[in-house]
Structure 1
Amino acid sequence: MALLETLVVVLGVALVAAVLVFAKTKLFPVAEDEEPREDVAEYIAMMVSVLYAVVLGLCLVSVWDTRTSAADHVQAEASALHQTYLLADALPADQRTSLREAARTYAGHVVDVEWPAMVAREPLDQEGWTMLEQLRHASAVSDTDKVSAQLASQEVLAQLGYVDDARRGREAAAQERLSPVLWTGLLIGGSLTLAFMFLFGIKRSTTHVVMVMGLSGFIAFTVLLIHQLDSPFGEMLGATPDAFIRYFA
């Protein structure tokens, strides 16, 4: 969802809340002899607000940790792949060219093929793993090669192990979603918080409208923020393939 669309949704929710406040004031005015219920209203509203804040905090922490973990996996994978590219200098000329070409092909596949699939939350195919296996074969040397080449080959295999681990983490992060239980608590808590603003409103209508608009707009913004962060490779706030692009421009 683009930034402009997000702002339109937030403003729309705030305006709908304002219209509902006006409708409630006109259709169900507060009677002059109605007994005050401020003590009960304040206590219930406070409890709902506290519980909603807890749920909101859990949602934000959950989606932010997932997004941060996804970015860390991408950086680790690209860095290890780049180290593999650099270590090719110590290999024989034919293997050096083969390993570097395989590394560039793998990076291009991640950026051009796998990244759009992760943004769309589609499962990744086996082609990336096949390319990783080709990298391992390209780094293999024989027992007759120089000791320096054999040591470089072992280090390349170690770096490819880091690539393997980071790739698994990246694939897992692409499929992670916020728990439906947390989503339910987030939506119900926001609805209850706004409902108490209507049921136990302030008698001054202008102040009531401003408070409800601000609160409803802020809740809508927070929910949309969590929705964006819930896509760890999303277009707006998700991790980017900049690390691969930077190392393999």
Structure 2
Amino acid sequence: MALFETLVVVLGVAFVAALVVVAKTRLFPVSEDEEPREDVAEYIAMMVSVLYAVVLGLCLVSVWETRSSAADHVQVEASALHQMYLLADALPSDRREPVRDAARTYASHVVDVEWPEMAARRPLDPNGWRLLEQLRQAGEVDDSAKVPQQIAAQEVLAQLGYIDDARRGREAAAQERLSPVLWTGLLIGGALTLAFMFLFGIKRSTTHVVMVMGLSGFIAFTVLLIHQLDSPFGEVLGATPDAFTRYFR
């Protein structure tokens, strides 16, 4: 609904501006002695270009922060899981292999099952949380354990808390998208910028063609870059599961 409202406001403002221009030309027509003022057109073209540069920068910052946040969550989650795997050596003998097996199973589930789902922007099923609960149960020790083993078990639970928080952040990052309002500004601004390049400012045809080609290519590249970064776990520029595979493969 926000996108529709934004389009209505933008089109409404543009329509009002057009009415003002038409009314001005009807009520105060330009006499034959006056020459058309190209400086007004150049000023408008410059303002459109500046505003579009601001929108581009805002979009790039937004998608890059989301992608960086996703990569940070993955690194924290994998590192904490690896720490749990190593801490299993300090647990009672009957708890060591269950913790290691649960850690390996969880890592494999993240890489093989959840990663393709996140790349496709599909919601994750609750199996990952069930595996995390199994990991929690595997790290529990009873009161008969020695003091160093109980301390190790407490550290295992602390690392599990880091995994829990990082997993929540990873799931949230996988569903984040660039605002439709920003996408609208990105596409409309690009179209307006190119339109003004075609209409104003360049007299020599060869120079005109070269500059329009360069600007068009650069805008297309930037929009595609934003599109790729808008998928935090995409195949091209998204975060990778290397942190998990480095520790558990």
Question: Do both proteins adopt the same fold according to a TM-score greater than 0.5, normalized to the shorter chain?
Answer: yes
Displacement of 1:41:
2.0
1:127 and 2:123 correspond? no
1:146 and 2:146 correspond? yes
1:163 and 2:131 correspond? no
Residue of structure 1 in register with 2:217 after alignment: 217
Partner of 2:203: helix, strand, or coil? Answer: coil
One-letter code aligned to 1:135: L
Residue of structure 2 in register with 1:52 after alignment: 52
Displacement of 1:186:
0.4
Displacement of 1:37:
4.0
Displacement of 1:52:
0.5
TM-score of the two chains, using structure 1 as the length reference:
0.85
Partner of 1:173: helix, strand, or coil? Answer: helix
Residue of structure 1 in register with 2:247 after alignment: 247
Higher mean alpha-carbon deviation, 129-138 vs 201-210, is at 201-210
One-letter code aligned to 1:107: A
CA offset digits 1:188-234 (Å, max 9, x no partner)? 11000001011114121000000000001100000000000000000
Partner of 2:142: helix, strand, or coil? Answer: coil
Closer/same/farther in 2, CA of residues 227 and 68 from structure 1, 3 Å limit = same
Residue of structure 2 in register with 1:9 after alignment: none
| Alpha-carbon separation, structure 2, partners of 1:88 and 1:148 | 12
Residue of structure 2 in register with 1:99 after alignment: 99
Displacement of 1:57:
0.7
| Alpha-carbon separation, structure 2, partners of 1:58 and 1:143 | 55
Displacement of 1:38:
2.9
| Alpha-carbon separation, structure 2, partners of 1:137 and 1:73 | 23
1:204 and 2:204 correspond? yes
One-letter code aligned to 1:63: V
Displacement of 1:46:
1.0
Displacement of 1:94:
1.8
One-letter code aligned to 2:241: P
Contact 2:42–2:201, Cα closer than 8 Å, also in 1: no
Moved over 6 A (4+): none
- In structure 1, runs of 5+ residues without a counterpart are 1-33
Residue of structure 1 in register with 2:174 after alignment: 174
CA offset digits 1:147-200 (Å, max 9, x no partner)? 111100000000000000000000000000000000000001100000101111
| Alpha-carbon separation, structure 2, partners of 1:35 and 1:117 | 62
Residue of structure 1 in register with 2:233 after alignment: 233
TM-score of the two chains, using structure 2 as the length reference:
0.85
| Alpha-carbon separation, structure 2, partners of 1:58 and 1:101 | 44
Displacement of 1:36:
5.4
State the aligned residue count: 216
Identity of aligned residues (%): 85
Contact 2:174–2:231, Cα closer than 8 Å, also in 1: yes
| Alpha-carbon separation, structure 1, partners of 2:236 and 2:228 | 7
Residue of structure 2 in register with 1:40 after alignment: 40
1:184 and 2:181 correspond? no
